[in-house]
């Protein structure tokens, strides 16, 4: 069964609530990254983010998800949570591959994230490889 079908039929895989945001659980495989991008775009669209901000977000989420799932064990899952905190979009993710070291971002990915994300970080803990992303609707300055 594909992740799309899982997300549509199994409420345990995708949860929505006004304050809890959206939680997406997908196989930790690159072919499912588009679901993380789609969810990011939909969530930001509901928050009235502009077109450029949504595109920035899609790319940033893609880059960070790609980093945490790279070379992970077969069967691992990627959980991505999207939240609106006081009008700022927070995205955090974890790939439950506990044998992994912290993700390494390629140079081009780092360059893109520096331009497109307001804040981001990657790491690893007892739950696996993790990332956190902050995207504001517009630059603060």
Nearer to other proteins, 37 or 84 (CB): 37
Q: Judged by CB under 8 A, does residue 97 bind other proteins?
A: no
Nearer to other proteins, 15 or 30 (CB): 30
Residue from 108, 126, 139, 140 touching other proteins (CB under 8 A): that is: 108
For the four alpha carbons of 32, 33, 34 and 36, in that order, the dihedral sign comes to positive
Two structure tokens written together for 92: 């955090």
Q: Judged by CB under 8 A, does residue 111 bind other proteins?
A: yes
CA–chain centroid gap for 49, Å, is 17
String marking each residue 19-58 x if it binds other proteins according to CB under 8 A: ----------xxx-xx--x--------------x--x--x
Is 8 in contact with 40 (CB distance < 8 Å)?
no
Q: Judged by CB under 8 A, does residue 10 bind other proteins?
A: no
At closest approach, how far in Å is the CB of 15 from other proteins? Answer: 25
How far, in Å, are 38, 49, 124, 130 from residue 66 at the CA level?
A: 14, 23, 14, 11
How far, in Å, are 4, 38, 51, 91 from residue 116 at the CA level?
A: 27, 17, 13, 14
Two structure tokens written together for 122: 């990657």
Q: Judged by CB under 8 A, does residue 115 bind other proteins?
A: yes
Binding site for other proteins (CB under 8 A): 29-31, 33-34, 37, 52, 55, 58-59, 62-63, 66, 70, 106, 108-109, 111-112, 115-116
């Amino acid at each position: 069964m594909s992740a799309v079908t899982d997300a549509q039929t199994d409420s345990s895989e995708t949860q929505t609530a006004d304050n809890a945001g959206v939680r997406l659980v997908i196989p930790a495989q690159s072919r499912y990254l588009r679901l993380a991008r789609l969810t990011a775009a939909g969530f930001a669209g509901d928050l009235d983010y502009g077109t450029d901000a949504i595109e920035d977000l899609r790319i940033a989420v893609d880059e960070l998800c790609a980093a945490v799932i790279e070379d992970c064990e077969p069967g691992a899952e990627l959980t991505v949570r999207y939240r609106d905190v006081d009008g700022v979009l927070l995205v955090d993710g974890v790939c439950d591959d506990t044998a992994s070291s912290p993700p390494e971002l390629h140079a081009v990915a780092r360059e893109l994230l520096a331009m497109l994300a307001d804040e981001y970080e990657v790491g690893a803990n007892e739950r696996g490889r993790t990332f956190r992303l902050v995207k504001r609707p517009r630059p603060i300055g």
